[in-house]
Amino acid sequence: MITFLLPQVLIPLSSIKLGRFVTSIDNPHQDFHDPSYYSTLHPLISVRSSYGGRGHESRTSSFTSALTSLLSAGFSRRSGSNITIETSLVQTYMLPNSTQWFEEAISLEETRRWVEKCIDQGDDLYFVVGFHTIMDAQIIHEAANRNERTRQVGLPVGLALNAAGIIAPLGGLADPQLGASSGSSQGVVQQFEAPGEQVCGFQYRKVCHRWLSSKNIDNASLAKTSHWSVGDRWRDEEEGIEDILQVEIVNLDRPEGEWDEQLVDDEVLLIRLS
């Protein structure tokens, strides 16, 4: 499974849901649809600490280290500053039986209308099947030059994070802890804490679609939840106009573009380079 780490944002856990439809793997908190499921989602949750050890404990420590290392590199690259993200705990939320949940979601009229609209707009569609959170994250920012250090000292937490190029849930951030040392090669280091769980990476399945003609499909196939008639679409039975929409989810391969990558415990961690 591929995990896509967010290159410049931490999202509060309360703002994200499993089983969500999104149009962007980089911005799952924007332009999304949360289906009104008939049943209650019960995620599978695994916990990985940053503390070393042997066997399983060592593997979870390695995963946490790899995840925070990629996040730190991505945030630093985007901001032009030296940013380190630390956490003692990573939690993973997984959607079991994701195909079943997708089929339930796509049977809902409101979900179908939303999917139709996105397809008409030419949007890509993805289904959230998992995400990683970091607990009580420490965000350590060291200014890249002396002038920047001078500007940063004493700024409120929101302004300081904006100047560092970080988008984060500012409402929950504690006041920055500032540490300064003299000399041109050493400067102000600001440390922020994001209390609680912040979502930092997502796992998706891709929503694929194709158009069929009702003239060439039997009633048994039409009864499946993954097919439905798009009623407001212009039809011409004689010409076999495609008026039936079929959707399914497939495993998401590595997208095009430049990515920083780490492979840990058979899981691929990706963060966009640009």
Helix (H, G, I), strand (E, B) or coil at 56: helix
Q: Give the C-alpha separation, 35 to 19, whole Å.
A: 8
Q: Mind listing the pLDDT tens digit for each residue in 31-54?
A: 999 999 988 889 999 998 764 444
Q: Give the C-alpha separation, 221 to 190, whole Å.
A: 60
Q: Take residue 46 and report the two structure tokens written for it.
A: 């695994």
Q: Are strands 267-272 and 259-264 parallel, antiparallel or unpaired?
A: antiparallel
Helix (H, G, I), strand (E, B) or coil at 231: coil
Q: Which of 69, 75, 62, 60 is CA-nearest to residue 10? A: 75
Please tell me the predicted confidence (pLDDT) of residue 214. 77
Question: What stretches of 192-272 show up as alpha helix (H) in DSSP?
Answer: 219-222
Predicted model pTM: 0.82
Please tell me the predicted confidence (pLDDT) of residue 180. 42
Question: What stretches of 31-97 show up as alpha helix (H) in DSSP?
Answer: 56-79
Low-confidence spans in the chain with pLDDT less than 50: 51-58, 149-155, 178-185, 235-238
* Angle at the Cα of 203 from the Cα atoms of 202 and 204, rounded to 5 degrees: 120
Q: Mind listing the pLDDT tens digit for each residue in 165-220?
A: 565 655 566 655 544 433 444 557 788 888 889 999 999 999 999 998 877 766 65
Helix (H, G, I), strand (E, B) or coil at 107: coil
13: phi then psi, degrees, rounded to nearest 5:
-55, -35
